[in-house]
Structure 1
Amino acid sequence: MKQSIIGLLTLALLAGLGLSSCSLNSRQEVNAGGETYNPSAEKITFSFAAPRGLPTTYAIHDQAEWAINGNKITLYEFLAGTKTYVKTHTVDLTGPGPEYQASLTAADFVGAGNTIHAGENRFFLFVANDEPLTGLTADVTTVDQVMSRLISRMQSANASCNVLLQGGSYLPMVGVAKIGTESTSIPMSGASTINVDLIRAVARIDIQTTMKATAAHPEYKEVIIKDAVLKNAYDRTAVGEHRATGLTTVGGVKTFATIPAGGVSPSQQYNGVMGKLSKAFYLYETPKALVSKDQAPVVDITVEYDGKEHHVEVPFYQNGAVVPVKRNYLYTIILGPKESPVPPVTGQGVSFAIAVNEWNGPVNVTESLNLLAPAQGATLPAGYDAKTHKLTVAAAGVSNVQIPFVSNFARSTSTIVANAKGNPDWVQLSYAGSLMTLTVKPNTTGAKRTAVVSVADASFPTAYQYEIKIEQD
C-alpha cells in the first residue's frame, strides 16, 4: 500500500552502532572489473516511510502508533538471488522521532576485508516492535520461511487485544527495502537511495455513537456504548503472501481502550471526538479466501438505549461477501439514526455503518438495531409525550385510543403483542397486526394512578419492548 503525505525517516547507515560484522563463511568475493573496493567506504542510505499522517486518511492518530520501541529496528539480511538468510542485525536509531537517523556501511554486511561479487546483492527485511526470530540458519533459511513466522505475538481468546502490541504499547511494523518502487535486489555499492515502507501488521477498529435527541427528532434517545467484544478474531498473522495462513479464530477479545464507567455517550467528547471510543480494538487481518459469514470478524457492542441494555452485533459481512480486514487500515463502526437513504420509519430507528479509511473508497454495511416504536408521522393520542413515552389521561378516562407501531427487526412480520403489566383492571387493550387499541376507565379512587403497557414484536417477544407509562389523574 503506497501512501501519500508520508513522513520520511532517513537512515544514513554508519558503522559502529552496536552491529557485529557479518562473515559470509567461505565467500571471498571480488568486485566486477577488478577495481579496488573498500566496504567500509560504501555507505548505504535507507529512506523509511513512517506509517503516519492525517487521522482521516491513515490508521494512525498519535505517537504511540508510529513510535519504535527503544529506537531499535530489526534487520534480516538475505542474499537477493537465492533469498537465503545471512544474518540478523539490530539497528540503533538516533533522534527523538518521528524522524530517526542511523548509520551502516557495506562492511557491516560483508565482513571486514571482504569484497563484493557483482551479482551478490542483498534482500533486506525490516521489522519494528517485534522480538527477533531465533533458529535461523545461514544459507538455508529462506525469506519465505522468515515471513511465514512473523509476527511473533498471538491473540488469545477472552484476552485484551493489547497482547498484539510489544509491551502493550508499540504496534508491530514490517517493511522490505526497495530501489525505486519495485526492485528488492539491493547492491552493496553505489549511491542508490533505498526505500522502505513500514506497514503496521495490525488493523484498528473505532466505535462511535451519534444517536441522540435532536431539534428535528426530540423523540430520539441516546445510544450509549457500554461494552464491546470481538468475535472471530484471527490469532496470528505473517507478512508477504504468507499473511494469515493456517490460523484459528478466537472470541471474547476485550477492548484496547478503557471504556468509561458510565459508557461512551454521543453527547460527550472522548479524546476530542464526540461519542467515539478510539482504539476499541487492534486486530490481525483476515485471510484472503474467506467466503462465509461465520468466518467474518464480528464486533458485539453492548449499548444502553432508553435505560435498557441491548446487544448490537456488527459483522464484517456485506451483500453476501466477507468485508476483508486489512493491515494498516482503520475501521470505524458508526451507530446513528436510520435516516439514509430514507427517513426512519420508527422514531428510534438506528443503523450502523463501517467506514473504512483506505484509498479505494468506503465500504458501508447497514443493518438495523432491534427496536420498535410508534410509527413516525402517525397521529398519536392527545396527552402522549413521545420523548418520555408517557400518556397522561384525565380522570374521566379515554376510549379506543389507537397507536400504530413499526418494528425494525429483520424478518419482522410487523405484528405486535401488548400487555398491561400487573393486569390492572382499569386498563384495557387489544392489538391487531401493528395497531394497538387502548381504553382507560374513569378514575373514581380520588388518587392518581399509573400503569405500564409493554409492546413487543410478535416474532421477537422477549427482545426489545417499547413501554408506555400511563398516568391518570
Structure 2
Amino acid sequence: MKQTIIGMLTLALLAGIGFSSCSLNSRQEVKENGGTYNPSAEKITFSFAAPRGLPTTYAIHDQAEWTIKDNRITLYEFLAGPKTYVKTHELTLTNSGGPEYQASLTAADFVGSGNTIHAGENRFFLFVANDEPLAGLQSGVTTVDDVMSRLISRKQSANASCKALLQDGKYLPMVGVAKMGQASTSIPMSGAAMINVDLIRAVARIDIQTTMKATAAHPEYKEVIIKDAVLKNAYDRTAVGEHRATALTTVGGVKTFATIPAGGVSPSRSYNGVMGKLAKAFYLYETPKTLVSKDQAPVVDITVEYDGKEHHVEVPFYQNGAVVPVKRNYLYTIILGPKESPVPPVTGGGVSFAIAVNEWNGPVSVTESLNLLAPAQGAKLPTGYDAKTHKLTVDAAGVTNVQIPFASNFAGSSSTIVVTAKGNPDWVQLSYAGSLMTLTVKPNTTGVKRTAVVSVADANFPTAYQYEIQIEQD
C-alpha cells in the first residue's frame, strides 16, 4: 500500500529556541497516579504534511464503506433546463457483490398514467444513498440548489460518536449525479440510454497509526501506544455541490468510530492486517472553504502512553498559516513516529506527527438503464425530421411511405408498437410492421399550413409513455 507524504513541516521545536510549541507542553500538567507530572523535559513534537499536488490513490475502502443499505437509493428528478423538482423516486438496485450497482427503469417510472414527456423535457437526476429522503419538496418550485443545500440530513453532535453521521451507524452517506458520456447531466427522456452515476461519499475519514518503538538504531526509544482520541472543531453538517458545509457550527468531544482495544493500539501489534493502525478512527464532514484561522480548523486530540506515562497531543489541520482543508471522500492518516530530522530526539524519545493525505479510493458506481420507446439508435431518419424536437417538416407535395424504425425497451415489453394519428386526420396514413413505422402524408391542396401529431406507444404500456411526432406541412 503506497502512501505519499508531501511537504512535511515541523511546527513544534525544542524548548529554549523561542518558538511556541503545539506539543505536549500545550497541556500545562498531566495527572498521573494522583500526582502531577510536568512534561516540560519530555516534549512530543509533531509535523504536518499537506498535499501539494495530486494525491496518491490506493484501494483502502472495504465493503462496509461502499454498501448501500437494503440496495435502496433515492432519486430526485428535476427538469434539466430550469432545474426544478419533478418527483422523488425510491429505487431498488441490484448488486453483484462489488462496489457496483445496477437498476433498470422505464419511462413509466417517471410519468403517471395518461401523461407524456414531450420533446426537450430532459431530466437532471440526483442520487442519494444511505440518507433519509427529503420531505416538503414542491413540484415546479423546489430547485436543485434547494435540495442540495438540505443534504445530508444527519448532524454531528458534541460529545457523541461520529457513528451519528452514518445511517444506522454503519452506512456511509453518498451522493451522485447521473451523466451520459463523460460530462452531460442533461438526460433525454427519448431513446434507450445507459447512464452512469458515480456515488461519492459525503464524509472524509481519519486513521491514526503509531510507528514509534525501539529500533536497532535507537534501542532507547519506547513505544507510543494510542489509548484514546477525540475530534474537536468537527463541523456538524454538510451539503452538496457549491453548498458544501454552509453551516459553520462546530462541535467537540467527538468520539471514535473504531473501538480502541483494551490496552490501546501498539506499534508492535497488527490490527486488521496493519501494524499499529487505528483504522476508521473518525468519519467527519468536510470543512468549509472559507476557513482561515487556526481556531476554526479541526483538531484530533490523541491520548498516548509513552514510557509508562499518559500524554495528550493535539494535531490541528493547520499549517503554513492556513487551514488544511478536509475534503469529502479523502483519507487522512495521522502517523506517529520517531523524529530523526530536522529536530533531534528529545531525551531519547522525540515523536513526530505527520498526516498523509490520500484520495479515498472510489467512487461507487451505479449504472441506470433507461428503458424507453424511441426511434432505433443509429437508424437513418427521414429528410426533414428533427430528432431533437420530434418534428417532421413536409412540403405541400407530401411524401409517400416514409419509414422510421422504432424500438421499445420497456421492461416486460412485447415489442408490439401501436401508432396513431391523433384526431384521425384524413391526410395522414400510418402502418407498422417489422419494426418500421410507415408514414404517408397526402398533398396539401388547402392553401394553408397544417399540422398533425402522430403517437407511437408500446402496446403493453399504451399510456405510460408515448413518443410523439409533430408533422408540419406547408
TM over 0.5: yes
- Work out whether 1:138 is the aligned partner of 2:173: no
What secondary structure sits across from 1:104 in the alignment? strand
Structure 1: unaligned runs, 5 residues or longer = 1-54, 360-473
- Work out whether 1:73 is the aligned partner of 2:93: no
Please tell me whether the aligned partners of residues 165 and 283 of structure 2 are also in contact (alpha carbons under 8 angstroms).
yes
- The 5-angstrom pairing of residues 170-189 of structure 1 reads 170-189=171-190
Q: Which digits, 9 at most, give the CA deviation of each residue in 1:202-237, with x for residues without a partner?
A: 000000000000011000000000000000000000
Name 2:222's counterpart in structure 1. 221
The Cα shift of 1:103 comes to 1.4
What secondary structure sits across from 1:101 in the alignment? strand
What secondary structure sits across from 1:355 in the alignment? strand
Flag the structure with more relative contact order, 1 or 2, with Cα contacts below 8 A and sequence separation at least 6: 2
- Distance in 2 between residues matched to 1:345 and 1:225, nearest whole Å: 20
- Work out whether 1:261 is the aligned partner of 2:267: no
- RMSD (Å) for aligned C-alpha atoms: 1.7
- Distance in 1 between residues matched to 2:302 and 2:154, nearest whole Å: 26
- The 5-angstrom pairing of residues 95-110 of structure 1 reads 95-98=95-98, 99-110=100-111
What secondary structure sits across from 1:117 in the alignment? coil
The Cα shift of 1:60 comes to 4.1
- Distance in 2 between residues matched to 1:347 and 1:166, nearest whole Å: 46
- Distance in 2 between residues matched to 1:176 and 1:135, nearest whole Å: 21
What secondary structure sits across from 1:204 in the alignment? strand
- Distance in 2 between residues matched to 1:202 and 1:112, nearest whole Å: 40
Please tell me whether the aligned partners of residues 59 and 328 of structure 1 are also in contact (alpha carbons under 8 angstroms).
no
Q: Which digits, 9 at most, give the CA deviation of each residue in 1:434-472, with x for residues without a partner?
A: xxxxxxxxxxxxxxxxxxxxxxxxxxxxxxxxxxxxxxx
Please tell me whether the aligned partners of residues 60 and 66 of structure 1 are also in contact (alpha carbons under 8 angstroms).
no
Q: Which amino acid aligns with 2:173?
A: P
CA change 1:261–1:319 in 2 (3 A) is same
Name 1:196's counterpart in structure 2. 197
- Distance in 1 between residues matched to 2:287 and 2:317, nearest whole Å: 10
Q: Which amino acid aligns with 1:92?
A: T
Please tell me whether the aligned partners of residues 59 and 330 of structure 1 are also in contact (alpha carbons under 8 angstroms).
no
- Distance in 2 between residues matched to 1:181 and 1:246, nearest whole Å: 32
Detail structure 1 runs of 4+ shifted over 3 Å in the superposition: 340-346
CA change 1:58–1:80 in 2 (3 A) is farther
What is the aligned-residue identity percentage?
89
Q: How many residues align?
A: 305
Q: Which amino acid aligns with 1:358?
A: E
Name 2:90's counterpart in structure 1. 90
- Distance in 1 between residues matched to 2:297 and 2:210, nearest whole Å: 23
CA change 1:56–1:265 in 2 (3 A) is farther
The Cα shift of 1:100 comes to 2.8
Please tell me whether the aligned partners of residues 237 and 247 of structure 2 are also in contact (alpha carbons under 8 angstroms).
no
Q: Which amino acid aligns with 1:103?
A: S
Name 1:147's counterpart in structure 2. 148
Name 1:279's counterpart in structure 2. 280
Q: Which amino acid aligns with 1:124?
A: F
The Cα shift of 1:137 comes to 0.7
CA change 1:95–1:182 in 2 (3 A) is closer
Name 1:357's counterpart in structure 2. 358
- The 5-angstrom pairing of residues 106-117 of structure 1 reads 106-117=107-118
Q: Which digits, 9 at most, give the CA deviation of each residue in 1:190-210, with x for residues without a partner?
A: 244322110000000000000
Q: Which digits, 9 at most, give the CA deviation of each residue in 1:286-317, with x for residues without a partner?
A: 00010000000000000000100010100000
When normalised by structure 1's length, the TM-score is 0.62
Name 2:62's counterpart in structure 1. 62
What secondary structure sits across from 2:163 in the alignment? helix
- The 5-angstrom pairing of residues 338-417 of structure 1 reads 338-341=339-342, 344=345, 346-358=347-359
Please tell me whether the aligned partners of residues 59 and 204 of structure 1 are also in contact (alpha carbons under 8 angstroms).
no
Please tell me whether the aligned partners of residues 344 and 350 of structure 2 are also in contact (alpha carbons under 8 angstroms).
no
Q: Which digits, 9 at most, give the CA deviation of each residue in 1:367-416, with x for residues without a partner?
A: xxxxxxxxxxxxxxxxxxxxxxxxxxxxxxxxxxxxxxxxxxxxxxxxxx
The Cα shift of 1:136 comes to 0.6
Please tell me whether the aligned partners of residues 59 and 329 of structure 1 are also in contact (alpha carbons under 8 angstroms).
no
